[in-house]
Structure 1
Amino acid sequence: MNGARCCGAPSGSSRVCFNKANIHPRYLTLSVIRRKRAGIMAHGSPDGCLESELSCPICLHLLLDPVTLPCAHSFCLVCLETPERDKSSGHDQVLCCPVCGQEHLSPESLPRNIKLKQIVETYRANNISCELQPRAEDEIINDQTSTEDTDVCKSTDSGKSSLLETETSESSLNPVISSLQEKLVVVDDLVNKEKAIEAVVKATHADLRKDVSGVLEEMAELVKTYSTTALKLLEAELRPREDAVGKRVRMLTDLQKQLRAAELQVNTLKDETDDACCIEVSSVTLDPLQDSSSGQELSSSLKEVCEKIEKQNTQLRLGLGSSQRALRVVLNPSEVTFDPDTIHPNLLLSEDLKTVSFSAAKQPYPAGSQRFSSFFQALSSQSFVRGEHLWDFRAEGCAWVVAVCYGDLPRSGSGSGLESSAGSWCLMYCENLLRAYERGKDTPLRRTPSLKRMEIRLSFSTGSLVFYSVSDVSGDKTHLHTFKVSFTQPVYLAVRMMSGQPKAHITVH
């Protein structure tokens, strides 16, 4: 067998050996090659050593579809398949291991080393450069081969080697390409989502800028109107005085001219009798000098102007307060203030419109169709149709009802109570008992000696209205009740004071 290492084959089988006739010239210098590769890898990185262990001893490249022989040596499947093998014969093929020479069955009958294949593919995916760049060790090995053997290799195996290298390169890039494509799909999806979010944010911010600009322009118009009105009031008082003073100046100027004319006449009529001179001088009168106004009159008139401007100040404060509340509503969609036009006459409203207090004396509020008259109730100025809202409720010195309700709640009669309305969802705390009312139907919840503070959460996305009690000491929250409801109209926040005491008050933030 021309130097091939092999033993006797079993009867009825053919033996395939690797000799000079069918082996690549580099295979014949296997021991030299392995020593050189080991020397190169020893001076290189740990990855180089690992690459050496994962390389086929025949083709010296990373294993492709590896097969492990019973002698524990692993090779590329394509490297074990030789042209001399007669696949059409009915006899079993016998293969001599190119490393140790032991005889084995043909590679077609051997199982593939799946684990080794996965290890090689993982290494190849993490070290792409090892497949894309020329190998220095291959150049060293090629220098050791003879010119004659190289010519034989070129004439017999050039097509096969080129195909193998192409398949190996493509196989090594496929996992990387797949990984990049998967990541690109994820990134494309994220980009599209972020662009959609960006469009929503820009649209929301544009609306917010428009609303805030409108409120600020309204405030600027209020200040401008106040300034214009104050100047008109002042001008209305000062202009007549200036006109009167100008008139007196003109009168005195005319008198001055008359006196100078009389003086000239006296000087030119020296030969006239004294009686004639007296007649000429007496014709000049000084009555206009008695019409001068006093500084006290000016001070009195300016006081009247100040009082009129003070009335304008009140209107300005009311207007600016309304604009500021509108600005808070724009910047904080959960902003709540009580509507002065709905508050019962026995309730007082704080300056910030967030607290109602009991008053034994009825307040002189203007009558209106929106004002509650049968119960001590107040309705919020704001209505809510979307979003998530959170309010802090505090009550002192009274039994109370707090509700979320529709705006068409009656304003008088027995049906105007928050707990009685069909369009109301509320909690009532009276005589240490907490009750829930939904569309006029009550549900006893629990007895509690004190309930002064609650947290109210309204969510349109989940269709829920949730109440929590909040401890004044620890701040811990305890769930009280949840209403599940799909609102069909804008809803308002409303409160009712059930008992009147001098210091009783309810505040909502």
Structure 2
Amino acid sequence: MAFAASLAKLQAEASCPICLDHLRDPVTTECGHNFCPSCIHQRWEGLQGTFPCPVCLHHCPDRSLKRNAQLCYMTEIVQQSSTSGSQRKLQEEIPLCGKHHEPLTLFCEKDLELLCAQCKVSSKRQDQRLIPIEEAAASHRRMLKRHIGALTNHLEVAETVYKRQVANTWEVKRKMKKMMEELDFECEELKFFLEIEDEIDNNLLIEEKGVEKQLIENGRHISNHMFRLSNLLSEIEDKCLQSDLDLLTGIERIHNSYGNLETPAVFSCELKKESYNLPPNYLGLHKMIRMFQVDLTLDPQIAHPSFNISSDRKSVTYRTSDGLPNPHALTSYPAVLSSEGFNAGRHFWVVNIKGIGECLLGFCKESIPRNTLISPSPSNACWQYQQKNEVFRLVCTGQHKIGVFLDYELGEISFYNLNNRSFLIGFSDIFTEKFMPYFSIASSSESLTISIIRVE
């Protein structure tokens, strides 16, 4: 390819810029350009004074031109080379200029297009930078390689963004699935509550019919008694108006009738109260989590030496072997506090318990005695919900989510099972100082992990 390009450039240099054919007995102008004598004299025909070069427009003082014998010889060699079969094949392989039908050997950096040698001498191209194809190709190849590096980086960034987008899509799908499962569970719970309500309504209807029947029967007895009283009253009034002999006749029957009067008892009915209440804060639990959920981190400075705190300070496990003594540990009982504490407001945090073992969750006063042989209890300024082995074995997923809610001003602590959105237990007290979330794992719980998580 390099040989063909060199030969094409040699042919271009051996061509007349005017007739575009091989130079015939070439002559050279004062500016150094070569032409066929007949072509240059024909171009200058009718001109007087100065004669411009057809290539560079240099003004030649007269028509006197020097014959270039060496170029003439070279032109003959080029003509002979162009007639060989191999050369013709090379010429056929080299693209030709559409305007001049000459091999494309030059490249215009301004217009970014291929040109032939004849294009070079046109008036429009004289001020433009034209370079050989090989030089232009090498320059642009280096430029393209730089583009390859930049585009490779852009592609890697795009792939990372795409993977993140795919991950976000799956995360959204996972959250949507979880929300649908939670909604289905709540709908089932509400459906169960409505079925209980229907059962209560049926029981009340049956009871109402029974009470209504007894009321009607009791009213009939009272009506009959009133009728007998009315007849007896009329009979006594008539007796009082009779003569002495008539009054005393049959008086025994009247006395017996009066003495045997019994007033029917009034029917009394106490309705049995039936009710079925939703668990406390059941329907408002989602809202409570959204409004009051806080991010907690564990404080490794006061952690028990047997505790292994994760690097993000969100999880804790019990090590099988004791660690180095920690003089700043909360207590000798295996426990740790969060770095955050609360002395006002309402706060909700979620704890995920995974594995088998025993743990204590809750919070304690900031003034709890440190590094002493005490167990957590309300008397020691610590309130907690206890979760033991048998409960974990009942959880099929091996995980248990506990929500802890603190209302400082009301002095209330509530624990929730977030697996089924149920209320577990609550405590009430008077809070007067800062409270710290509290976490503890029994020494026998080697496979138990407590993690502070965030529920969306």
TM-score category of the 2 structures, normalised to the smaller one: 0.3 to 0.5
TM-score (ref. length: structure 1): 0.30
Structure number with the higher helix fraction is: 1
TM-score, normalised via structure 2 length? 0.32
Instruction: Select the structure of larger CA radius of gyration.
Output: 2
